[in-house]
Each structure stands twice: as structure tokens, then as C-alpha cells.
């Protein structure tokens, strides 16, 4: 039995023991199927849900022996195998619908084939054979294009896992070997830091399939690929740091249907079991116990979390002890492939949290490797359509609410939909399309430098000048992002062009901002608030507008639309922009007069001094050969420094530049 092997007796024994809660989830999900009426004719919308429906009902039957589950499984199976094709609006038989159904129905076949009527078994086998042949043929013939060679993309993982499952079920080694060759590459090419350029929602949708395949391979061939590459080992750490305070919502970099579609209890269970990650076990229990149903019904991603019940049962490992991240995980993190830093003031639900990122399309590894594949084979492998023109952008949440927000899911991807800087009102070259990175030269890329993420301090500088139309003659657009241990944020946008330009800093929020004097605004959302203060010289002109976002998140359902309105603060300036953001409704930020460099002082004994280009700071209380000096109470953080004097006391004297807390 695929994914079960010799565990059936122990899995049955656990139904009233260690897996009693997971069994309840499974049989309740099967009760839901009993009340549904699958369409007799293929609908226009996606039919991916048939795959897990078959798997859930089949597993319930083999565990319990209840005939009703077998009959219900056949009702669902017989309906979808009666469809001439799997998928209707987009690539019938050759894309996600086919992958999902091949996987779920192949599992069901391997579990219940002996208990079906001979005619039923033959009918299911014949349909699986036909659909497997169709998908395999497409994968071979389309190699080098679309999902067949899109190694960093969820379509690749889903379709090849479906092909592997049906190959194992029907003993078709040519199918399983092709899937194996694909995943051998995928697991080695995925970022070692565990990050996913498609964003949290597509992490939740796609990465479980990497685990499903790896489990399939181990169960069917005895080959252990859990440590092939480092992505699967490290990806929970990345996902954990994408949680907004309280864990229920998530950062929405990349294509995110919403902020409540980011959890997979089953995947948390599997990663906890494979790598003994107590924090993954803890998060699985928190999600399933506190806000699983909120996500199940609020999520815009289909088929959603409910159909994962069979995986939750199979993947739960009671031997892994849950560990609260607040007791073990730092509040700051850096993910170099995605150029992302995250910081939170604590793991408390009311903490202040921010995420800042800058990387080329797909992340550094995919960008470099995809160009090599193209030069060597002519393959188009980087289908990073879910990645946005958002390098240098950030999001901010505090006191239980998002205050500076991202655009979420968008078909017409534009820099102006993110918290970035426009040049003469223009965003990036070649934007305003679904895949903003397609066909652009290797040299047009973004990166971060001078990164510090430790002990509550975060500092990073993004470089994005290369992303603009050459006619704008942008020579520098470097953004330095700082977050202090108390959650105060400083943005320094250093700008340079051959001819004078207007530089417009954008801040998007869910609700309109309130003007505060001539140099600031107050952002509010529910219990959260943040004062934004412009501190540059000259002061920018501040105005407000709205930004409309619209998307169709799946080609399989053309009628589906997601639309939202962002409220946008615009700061127009003729030169550099220095901005302070304080998560409170009464800001105390002020600019510090520096002979060299830029300085901002907050209350609570915090100050920030920056010199991203020159590397020399001369301020009333700090003199330094450093990129940055950050002070919070009696702690000082130095970025790229050799000598630092604070209040007349030498705190650093080094022959080489160092980045550390001194």
C-alpha cells in the first residue's frame, strides 16, 4: 500500500490511541464528502479536489473496514474517471488537475483495489493508465518549457508527484524514473536556506508535494532523500519567520491570495517527524487547535486545508515533543537566497514585526541557475510568475494588525503596488505583466548587502537601480532598512540620476492614513498604529491616493477574481529620503544633525546612524568608520565597522570590517 507499507496494523491500532485526534479529523472530513454532490459533467472550474477526496475516503475504509467509506470512495472516483479529460479551462490532462487526481486516485487504487468489484478495478486502472500516459507524454514533449523543467515551481512538483504515484500504483518504471530524475534536480536546486520565492501561500500549496514525493520514494524504493539538499530540512525555519505575530496570519510577499492561507498541518507534522523539529510539532498543534477552521473557510486557495486529513493521519508522529518557538527561536532571521530579513520584538501576539527583501527573480540560486540552463540547453526553467517586482519593499505589523502592507495576489505586477520608490512616477522596466522577470538580461538584478540580523537588531541595504528603464538614467537607488529592538524603523533611500528626477516613496495600508502636521501621517488598523515621519532635507510633499489590485489566481477557473483597494501614502522628493516609522500613535523620532552620515533619534534610548556609501559617521555622540551604528539602551550594533567611538569611549577597533553587537 503506497505511503502505508507495513504500517497498516499500527495505524489501525492508533485510531483510538495516539492518532485519535487525527482519526476524528479524517472521519469528519469523510462525513462532509457524504453530503456533497460531485458534478456529473466536468465543471469549468478546477477539479483538483477529487484527488484528496478519493484518498481520504479510501484511507478511512482501510483503517476502519466500514463498507460505507468504500462505497463513498467509489462514488467520487467513478464520477471523475467518467470525465473524458482532467482539466477543462487550462491544459486539459497536462497540468494541475491531472497531477492532483493522479496522485489521489493512485493512492486510493493501491489501498482499495482488492476490495472493488472487478469491473470497477478495471475501469479505474484503465483511466489511471490513460491519464498517466497523457501526462508523461506531455512532460517528455515539453521538456525545457513550462512545468516539465520549471524546477522551482509548484506545477512541476504537483504534476511529477502525480506521475510518480501512478507509476508506482501501476508499475510503470518509465514514469517513476522520470519523476525521480526531476526531483533529484529539484531537491538540489531549491534554496538551502529553505526560502520560497513563490511566497507563503504557494509554499503552503506547493511544498507539501516535495514532502509527498520524498515520502513516496522512501516508502516504495527504500531511498532516503530527506537530506538531499538542505531545502526541506530548513524550510520550516523560513516558514516560521513568515508568521505574523500570533501565528494566524502570514507575510504576503509574492502571490498571496490572502493572509490566512499559509498553514499546512500535515506538512508541519511531516517536517517535525523527518527532522525532529519540535517547533513544527508545536505549530501544527496550535493551528489545528486554534485557527484551523478559520483558515479552512476564509482561505482563497483551493482545495484548501480540509482535504489534507489523510496526510495528517499518516504523517503525525507522536514521538516528537512540541517546543514553543518563544523558548528556542531568535526573533530575527536572514535568508540570503531571497535576500530577506525578518524581525519581531518578541513572539507575543501583540509584537511589532517587519519583513524586508531584495533578490533577483526567483531568488539568487534560481536566477543564476536558470540562466545557465538557458545558455546550455535553451531551456526556459524560471517560471517565477508568482514573484513580484518588490525588491527593497517591506511590510509592517504591530499590536495585532498589519500597518504597511503588500499587494498580495496580482496579475499585472508593478513596483508601484509595493512599498518602494518610483522614479518620475515610473516603476521597473518591463513591469505591468504577469512574469516581470521573463526575458530580461542576467545583469538586471537586485541584491542586499550589509546585513545584520541579531539580538533584535536588523539592518540591510537593497540595490535596485538596475531595474529601471535606462532612459531614466538611474545611477543609484539604495534603500537601507533598519529595525531596532523596540520595533522602530528607519528607511534611508539614497538616490542618484544623471538628470534631476522626482523620487516618490510609497507606503500602502489597508485603511486611509491620517495627516500629522506637514511631515507625517498616522497609519491605523484596528488596535495597531504607526507614526510615519519624513526627516529628509528637503522635506517631501506628502499626499494620499488609492491603488487598485486585481487578479485571477488560477487559469483553471477563469471566472474567479480577487480585487482589493490599497490606501497609499506618497512622499515626493527631489533628493534623498529619510523616513522614521514608530509603532505607536505618538512618535518621538527626530533627525540628528550629523557632519557626515544620517542620524535618527527615538525615545527609549534608541538611535540610528547610517552611512551606506561613504562608511563614515560623525555625530554628536558617535564617531565611526562604519556603514551603520545602531544604539538601543546599553547595546550597540555595528555594521561594516572598523573603529567606533560612542560617547567618547572606543567600543570597536578592528583591522577588518566587522558586523556584530559590541
Q: Where in the chain are the domains?
A: 1-189, 203-329, 332-585, 588-662
| Whether the Cβ atoms of residue 320 and residue 33 lie closer than 8 Å to each other | no
Euclidean distance between CA atoms 272 and 366, whole angstroms: 27
Assess whether pLDDT exceeds 90 at residue 556: no
Would you say how long the chain is, in residues? 662
Assess whether pLDDT exceeds 90 at residue 558: no
| Whether the Cβ atoms of residue 251 and residue 355 lie closer than 8 Å to each other | yes
pLDDT digits (tens, 9 = 90+) for 487-515: 999 999 999 999 999 999 999 999 999 99
Answer positive or negative: Cα dihedral of 10, 15, 17, 18.
Answer: positive
Residues 6+ apart with CB under 8 A from 331: 343, 344, 345, 346, 347, 456
Work out the pLDDT band at 552, boundaries 50, 70, 90. confident
Q: Write down the pLDDT at residue 559.
A: 74
Euclidean distance between CA atoms 211 and 201, whole angstroms: 16
Euclidean distance between CA atoms 544 and 533, whole angstroms: 15
Residue closest to 153 by CA, chosen among 220, 114, 99, 230: 99
pLDDT digits (tens, 9 = 90+) for 58-69: 999 999 999 999
One DSSP character per residue, 320-332 reads SPP--GGGTS-SE
Assess whether pLDDT exceeds 90 at residue 452: yes
Place of cell 539592518: 459
Alpha helices in 278-421 (DSSP H): 278-286, 292-298, 309-315, 364-377
Work out the pLDDT band at 554, boundaries 50, 70, 90. confident
Matching CATH number, 1-189, of 2.130.10.10, 1.50.10.100, 3.30.43.10, 3.40.50.2000: 1.50.10.100
What's phi and psi for 348, nearest 5 deg? -75, 145
Place of cell 540591510: 460
What nine digits make up the cell of 14?
492508533
Assess whether pLDDT exceeds 90 at residue 532: yes
**Domain 332-585: CATH architecture, name and number where available:** Distorted Sandwich (2.70)
Euclidean distance between CA atoms 399 and 39, whole angstroms: 45
Which pTM does this prediction carry? 0.97
Assess whether pLDDT exceeds 80 at residue 141: yes
What is the spatial order of strands in the sheet that 332-335 belongs to? 332-335, 340-344, 353-357, 393-398, 401-404
What nine digits make up the cell of 285?
498543534
Q: Up-side HSE of residue 635: CA atoms within 13 Å toward CB?
A: 12
Euclidean distance between CA atoms 233 and 242, whole angstroms: 16
Mean pLDDT in residue range 464-480: 98
Q: Write down the pLDDT at residue 383.
A: 84
Place of cell 493551528: 287
Amino acid at each position: 500500500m503506497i505511503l502505508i507499507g507495513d504500517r497498516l496494523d499500527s495505524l489501525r491500532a492508533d485510531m483510538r490511541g495516539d492518532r485519535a485526534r487525527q482519526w476524528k479529523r479524517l472521519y469528519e472530513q469523510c462525513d462532509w464528502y457524504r453530503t456533497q454532490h460531485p458534478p456529473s459533467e466536468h465543471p469549468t472550474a478546477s477539479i483538483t479536489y477529487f484527488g484528496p477526496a478519493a484518498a481520504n475516503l479510501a484511507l478511512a475504509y482501510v483503517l476502519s473496514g466500514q463498507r460505507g467509506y468504500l462505497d463513498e470512495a467509489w462514488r467520487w472516483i467513478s464520477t471523475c474517471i467518467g470525465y473524458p479529460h482532467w482539466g477543462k479551462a487550462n491544459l486539459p490532462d497536462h497540468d494541475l488537475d491531472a497531477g492532483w487526481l493522479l496522485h489521489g486516485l493512485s493512492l486510493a487504487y493501491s489501498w482499495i483495489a482488492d476490495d472493488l468489484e472487478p469491473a470497477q478495478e478495471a475501469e479505474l486502472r484503465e483511466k489511471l493508465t490513460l491519464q498517466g500516459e497523457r501526462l508523461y507524454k506531455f512532460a517528455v514533449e515539453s521538456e525545457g518549457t513550462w512545468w516539465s523543467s520549471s524546477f522551482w515551481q509548484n506545477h512541476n512538483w504537483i504534476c511529477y508527484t502525480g506521475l510518480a504515484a501512478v507509476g508506482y500504483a501501476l508499475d510503470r518504471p518509465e514514469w517513476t524514473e522520470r519523476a525521480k530524475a526531476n526531483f533529484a534536480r529539484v531537491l538540489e536546486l531549491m534554496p538551502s536556506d529553505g526560502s520560497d520565492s513563490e511566497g507563503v501561500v504557494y509554499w503552503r500549496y506547493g511544498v507539501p508535494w516535495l514532502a509527498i514525493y520524498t515520502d513516496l520514494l522512501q516508502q516504495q524504493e527504500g531511498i532516503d532523500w530527506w537530506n538531499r539538499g538542505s531545502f526541506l530540512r530548513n524550510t520550516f525555519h523560513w516558514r516560521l519567520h513568515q508568521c505574523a505575530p500570533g501565528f494566524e496570519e502570514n507575510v504576503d510577499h509574492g502571490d498571496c491570495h490572502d493572509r490566512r492561507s499559509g498553514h499546512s498541518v500535515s506538512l508541519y507534522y511531516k517536517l517535525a517527524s523527518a527532522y525532529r523539529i519540535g517547533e513544527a510539532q508545536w505549530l501544527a498543534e496550535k493551528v489545528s487547535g486554534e485557527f484551523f477552521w478559520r483558515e479552512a473557510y476564509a482561505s482563497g486557495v483551493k482545495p484548501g486545508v480540509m482535504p489534507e486529513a489523510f496526510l495528517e493521519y499518516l504523517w503525525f508522529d507522536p514521538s516528537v515533543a512540541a517546543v514553543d518557538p518563544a523558548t528556542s527561536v531568535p526573533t530575527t532571521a536572514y535568508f540570503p537566497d531571497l535576500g530577506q530579513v525578518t524581525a519581531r520584538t518578541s513572539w507575543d501576539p501583540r509584537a511589532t514585526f517587519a519583513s524586508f527583501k531584495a533578490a533577483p527573480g526567483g531568488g539568487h540560486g534560481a536566477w543564476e541557475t536558470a540562466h545557465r540552463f538557458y545558455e546550455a540547453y535553451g531551456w526556459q526553467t524560471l517560471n517565477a510568475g508568482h514573484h513580484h517586482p518588490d525588491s527593497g519593499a517591506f511590510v509592517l505589523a504591530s499590536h495585532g494588525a498589519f500597518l504597511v502592507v503588500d499587494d498580495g495576489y496580482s496579475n499585472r505586477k508593478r513596483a508601484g503596488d509595493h512599498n518602494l520608490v518610483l522614479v518620475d512616477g515610473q516603476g521597473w522596466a518591463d513591469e505591468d505583466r504577469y512574469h516581470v522577470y521573463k526575458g530580461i538580461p542576467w545583469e538586471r538584478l537586485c541584491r542586499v548587502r550589509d546585513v545584520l540580523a541579531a539580538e533584535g537588531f536588523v539592518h540591510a541595504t537593497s540595490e535596485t537601480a538596475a531595474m529601471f528603464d535606462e532612459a531614466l538614467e538611474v545611477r543609484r537607488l539604495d534603500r537601507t532598512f533598519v529595525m531596532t529592538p523596540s520595533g522602530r524603523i528607519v528607511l534611508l533611500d539614497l538616490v542618484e540620476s544623471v538628470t534631476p528626477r522626482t523620487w516618490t516613496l510609497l507606503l500602502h495600508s489597508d485603511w486611509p492614513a491620517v495627516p500629522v502636521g506637514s511631515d507625517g501621517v498616522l497609519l491605523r488598523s484596528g488596535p495597531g498604529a504607526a507614526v510615519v515621519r519624513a526627516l529628509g532635507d528637503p522635506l517631501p510633499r506628502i499626499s494620499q491616493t488609492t491603488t487598485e489590485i486585481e487578479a485571477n489566481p488560477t487559469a483553471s477557473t477563469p471566472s474567479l477574481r480577487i480585487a482589493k483597494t490599497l490606501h497609499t501614502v506618497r512622499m515626493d522628493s527631489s533628493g534623498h529620503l529619510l523616513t522614521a516609522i514608530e509603532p505607536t500613535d505618538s512618535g518621538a523620532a527626530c533627525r540628528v544633525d550629523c557632519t557626515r552620515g544620517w542620524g535618527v533619534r527615538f525615545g527609549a534610548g534608541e538611535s540610528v546612524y547610517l552611512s551606506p556609501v561613504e562608511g563614515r559617521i560623525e555625530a554628536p555622540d558617535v564617531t565611526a568608520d562604519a556603514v551603520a551604528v545602531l544604539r538601543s539602551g546599553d547595546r550597540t550594533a555595528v555594521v561594516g565597522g572598523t573603529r567606533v567611538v560612542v560617547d567618547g569611549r572606543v567600543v570597536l577597533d578592528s583591522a577588518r570590517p566587522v558586523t556584530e553587537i559590541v
